[in-house]
Amino acid sequence: MTWLVTGGAGYIGAHVVRAMLAADHDVVVLDDLSTGDPARLPAGVPLVTGSTLDRALLDRTLREHAVTGVLHIAARKQVGESVEKPLWYYRENVEGLRVVLEAAADAGVRSFLLSSSAAVYGMPDVELVTEDTPCAPMSPYGETKLAGEWLVRAVGRAHGMGTVSLRYFNVAGAATPELGDPGVFNLVPMVFERLDAGEAPRIFGDDYPTPDGTCVRDYIHVADVAEAHVAAVRRLTTADGGTDLVLNIGRGEGVSVREILDVIGEVTGLDTTGEVTPRRAGDPARVVASADRIAHELGWKARFDVHDMISSAWAGWRTRH
């Protein structure tokens, strides 16, 4: 069977494409290249350039490549930007998904996987976030991801389509340097950028109710995220119909901002003493995944630790800078 990977030329998408190929799956990529790069794709992978909102293009792609499963990774994903441009985020993330689902259902696609996010949870006041933790997203971005999960589940049930939604926690690292994250929107590349400029990394608040006063997050290597997609595809292709899963992708281990800075210092050999600035609005003190359900359902478990993430991310950063 052939899998359509939307957003497959992006940071996470390109890792998923390579993991799928390594597992002997045929793939075709649809990407508007707004943040994706064709150079990320291995030779021979078909690339269709265009938007998820283009129904005619989707119909043609599904038909010409005999697509039987979809990995929908394409999305806008900057929380702050979503607050400034909510209409655009709903159009791109929800309407774009609706068009892809409609085209897939009409084409008889039997398997659909959605890239979701821990942003659906908002600010959970729990030690470990399970898939049953109430969702209360705090940004239009998180809202679009939660609405997307609802839509995927409803369409799957209505059309007999197996579905999986994977909620990413804090993704970092790179499988190879050329696949490193080109964006500067998350903690690790933000620290790298400050270090390159000869400036102290920022710590947004050090008075949280955590062991060292800084925010605690669950960091997951992008290569582990890609393997989780392969495990989900395996489930979708071997299950006897009726797959309907929502799963966290995390390590189940919290790491504070100060601890991340310490590891970055070890890896780079640079002074990563942080400059404490006021808290950012909406930052929860602790968000750490429970990864028990994905282990039970898919037999998946993260392999890489924080040092692996930082060292591979630094190699990717140095390659691009």
Ranges of H-type helices in the chain: 11-22, 55-64, 79-84, 86-89, 96-106, 140-159, 187-196, 222-238, 257-268, 292-298, 306-320
User: Could you identify the residue written with the tokens 């299950």?
Assistant: 239
**Active-site position among 141, 168, 208, 219:** 141
- Total count of residues recorded for the chain: 321
- Six-digit token pair at 77? 């994903």
Task: Tell me the pairing of strands 255-256 and 216-217.
Answer: antiparallel
What is the C-alpha separation between 143 and 120, in angstroms, rounded? 7
> Residue 310: which of 172, 171, 170 has the closest Cα?
172
Catalytic: 90? no
What is the C-alpha separation between 275 and 272, in angstroms, rounded? 9
For residues 71 and 113, the answer to whether their CB atoms sit within 8 Å is: yes
What is the C-alpha separation between 270 and 264, in angstroms, rounded? 8
Catalytic residues: 141
